[in-house]
Structure 1
């Protein structure tokens, strides 16, 4: 599974354990799970059928994004599959192809699948753990943002949430326009900007994190870790919302809810000192401010509190 080994995988699948090198002397590790009917459906309301390729791609992408958010590069991953006995072999082979394609097409050229495990269960569950390296320097944490920093975004927000809304709608997937179908693709096969993380670290980013649960929810996590306020620019939010009109006009909803609360695009939210030129791929969307006397850290929009909650894995 996963094709040729990357340079950091000294011994891949076939033995009881893989062997990977750690040239930097430090190893980053992240793990995430997708569960059928919790994180994806095999058949959505609008008729779209989730392929093994989709699940494999997303499993790789969301884990590679976490390593990227530290300013690091991925070196290897291991995969654990739990499958009902009636799962077609072709679906599993398709999943392996999706993992390999995401690693290749997203640009994680030093990463490969080093091994994994296979088990039986009542629903499909895919867990991926990914290892990474910093190759010198320090990781970019959530806790380094300071008043006066520029708040910037790499990648997209809201598009995966718009795609999810289309998947859960009554609009036939096969009849969607190209712009709407592209939103489905962002949900099913996200494209985190993997080159942006290490570039941000090299440029001097003071804080950074992956946006997986929504701009406001994840922004609040960064703000609390840094004891700061992230103030979003209304004009930039409006621009992001306008790009979602192909879905919002069809579903008759306010696209701003997707921009503020939608996750799974796996873009990067980062802060930079004001005298640093933003690296390619990043766009300023706000600023970092000190908490007020009567208010704590959090996210505001043009100075006003942002109330959107974002994705909660344990909400009803």
Structure 2
């Protein structure tokens, strides 16, 4: 399929909405004339796609974004929503120690959704996929009262064992790679009606997880790993429960950026609370047998002990707010 990530979409020139395009017109507008990389053996257009799996095993994950819950079009452009949807899945693939190989996109939207929104969303998904060297190989479209964007990502372990949440052991070192609290700070800025600092707002609109670092951690001997989709404390709680260990973080060692402190000071927020409980940064947090195993660029910020639960400076977290995002709370 010739054409790059920014190629113009095909479709009836007179069609201005999803309803006017029709189901197959929407599919063609999203997938037509797009470049598919080598892992895609058979792309969109058949009952299912065919993707190469060199390792013989496939890492698979899915993440769903709902308008009004995960994104707002008065805060984010459609392209940014598309990028955000892909980012969540790339982080999950990376957290298993795998490299991404393909994406599938399912889109539910009202018939009144404009082609401009569809084009922007598709551009964001495809641009993020191109950054990862993968393609969008299929998916589905349906009508709905509100927009729902669901991405399925596939990955390859390159012959390694998966890095799960259940492998942490007492004596391991906890280390982080990526930004902590930036998305939460960006949301706080947007809620105040501001659009700057740009870096914080961008972190909320289009998080950029360090997905290339997942395989790096795996090769370095990571014993467990997870991404901070719900917040550092909440996600390390999953590691503690799965591994049956106690995680203790050092607030002094946590990578709390000066920019985060500046925004917190301006808005009356707490940078440590954002770093510990803010979700959607999609940073990676892993455990390693010793500091000697921690790869360059990762920040050691805690340790694994015998016991249960997660503490900060040996105390249960008593900061403001709930320690992480939970649906239906």
1:7-156 equivalences under 5 Å are 7-43=38-74, 48=75, 50-105=76-131, 108-109=132-133, 111-156=134-179
Q: Shift of the alpha carbon at 1:275?
A: 5.8
Mean CA deviation greater in 194-203 or 306-315: 306-315
Q: Which residue of 1 is the match for residue 245 of structure 2? A: 228
Partners of 1:220 and 1:277 in 2: CA distance: 22
Partners of 2:170 and 2:199 in 1: CA distance: 37
Contact (CA 8 Å) 2:291, 2:300: kept in 1 or not? no
Q: TM-score, normalised by structure 1?
A: 0.90
Partners of 2:129 and 2:44 in 1: CA distance: 17
Q: Which has the higher contact order (CA 8 A, sep 6+)?
A: 1
Partners of 2:96 and 2:309 in 1: CA distance: 21
Find out whether 1:267 has 2:280 as its counterpart.
Answer: no
Contact (CA 8 Å) 1:217, 1:310: kept in 2 or not? yes
Find out whether 1:249 has 2:289 as its counterpart.
Answer: no
Match of 1:300 among 311, 325, 329: 311
Contact (CA 8 Å) 2:83, 2:125: kept in 1 or not? yes
How many equivalent pairs are there? 295
Partners of 1:184 and 1:269 in 2: CA distance: 22
Q: Shift of the alpha carbon at 1:67?
A: 0.4
Q: TM-score, normalised by structure 2?
A: 0.86
Q: Shift of the alpha carbon at 1:281?
A: 2.4
List structure 1 segments (4+ residues) > 6 angstroms apart after TM superposition.
Answer: none
Contact (CA 8 Å) 1:151, 1:286: kept in 2 or not? yes
Any idea what the Cα deviations from partners look like across 1:273-294, whole Å, max 9, x if unmatched? 1163311221101111111xxx
Q: Which residue of 1 is the match for residue 221 of structure 2? A: 204
Contact (CA 8 Å) 2:228, 2:235: kept in 1 or not? yes
Q: Which residue of 2 is the match for residue 213 of structure 1? A: 230
Q: Shift of the alpha carbon at 1:243?
A: 3.6
Partners of 1:303 and 1:242 in 2: CA distance: 24
Q: Shift of the alpha carbon at 1:192?
A: 0.5
Partners of 1:298 and 1:58 in 2: CA distance: 30
Q: Which residue of 1 is the match for residue 9 of structure 2? A: none
Partners of 1:104 and 1:11 in 2: CA distance: 17
Partners of 1:129 and 1:98 in 2: CA distance: 15
Q: Shift of the alpha carbon at 1:242?
A: 4.1
Match of 2:208 among 191, 198, 201: 191
SS of residue in 1 equivalent to 2:252: helix
Partners of 1:73 and 1:244 in 2: CA distance: 30
